[in-house]
Structure 1
Amino acid sequence: MTDLAARVVATMRERDITLATAESLTGGMLGAAITSVPGASKVYLGGVVAYATELKSSLLQVERLEIETFSVVSSQVAQGMAAGISAATGADWCIGVTGVAGPDPQDGHDPGEVWIGVQGPRIGTLAPLVMTQQFQFEGDRSAVRMATVDAALSMLLRILSPV
């Protein structure tokens, strides 16, 4: 996790771009991984831990209809969380993570189901790049949360540094 966070911070510093996060199941672990890297303050604007469903709507402006229609564990909510933190912070790149850490299922979703949304910058009149990906992680609650942080950092790094 630390190596991935260091690579993300270094890449973003080289490009002079910023990052913000909106987290649910990780409870701040993603932001903590990023801020553990020296120099992260040059790129990381901050984050929101919206663990409760209501906070996803009230703080991050995720549409209630999307939550009710698709569930809080969905592509739409991961995208909405990324868009919400983007609107709140103005960061160039934003990550939203939602899912079920376990041990019990939630709203018909099994433990380990995770959705990650990444939103990029708006360029001129073009809409911002938005990408979501679903993951199914194995292991206990801690393993799912750590795997989510790694996956979010890896996803952003792949976007920023395509092969």
Structure 2
Amino acid sequence: MTNTTDEHLRELASAIGEQLAAKRLTLCTAESCTGGWIAKTVTDIAGSSAWFDCGLAAYSYEAKQGLLGVRPETLEHFGAVSRETVIEMVSGALVHSGAGVAVAVTGIAGPGGGTEDKPVGTVWIAWKRRGGYPRAELFHFDGDRESVRRQTVAAALEGIAQHL
């Protein structure tokens, strides 16, 4: 398991902020299962207003459609926790913000909601730069709801750093 301590998350967010500021880019988050935790982590860093544009917490199907432009057909055919949905989320975050970089997360944090095909701990994360192609990755995290969400935040932040 990745280091998910508060201190590690702060260190990741701070490093991302330095990278974004150096490249004159801003970040947007599109979050489902983390409910804004990624945005909270990056805005805990003093001076983040220089490199953080906005965070969208889109939990329901309606919010994913209205705020991020996820197509109803995508949700109907693939479900909220899918590669297709997270790619539409990350792309929609860039369309609906002024940011140059976006991250999107959708998953099943538990304790309920899991299925045989998509057990608790199943999380999709996508990253995209404006004008670029999205990259999506599937994760299977262990632990309780808090642990799954915390691991998702860490993986999302680590992915942003790699994507820059």
Q: Please give the per-residue CA displacement for 1:116-139, whole angstroms capped at 9, x wherever unaligned.
A: 0111121xxxxx221000000001
Q: Which runs of 5+ in 2 are unaligned?
A: 1-8
- Give the equivalent residue in structure 2 for 1:52: 60
Asked whether the 8 Å contact 1:104–1:110 carries over to 2, the reply is no
Partner of 1:146: 150
Equivalent position amino acid for 1:59 in 2: L
Tell me, in whole angstroms, the C-alpha distance in 2 between the residues paired with 1:150 and 1:53.
Answer: 25
Partner of 2:123: 114
Distance, in Å, in 1 between the alignment partners of 2:121 and 2:43 is 25
Is the 8 Å Cα contact of residues 93 and 120 (structure 1) preserved in structure 2?
A: yes
Partner of 2:3: none
Amino acid at match of 2:44: S
Match of residue 61 from structure 1: 69
Q: Judge conservation of contact 1:113–1:134 (CA < 8 Å) in 2.
A: yes
Moved more, 143-152 or 100-109: 100-109
Q: Does 1:159 align with 2:163?
A: yes
Structure 1 residue ranges, 4+ long, deviating more than 6 angstroms after superposition: none
What RMSD over aligned residues (CA atoms) do the two structures have, in Å? 1.1
2:57 is the alignment partner of 1:32: no
Moved more, 100-109 or 135-144: 100-109
Percentage identity across aligned positions?
34
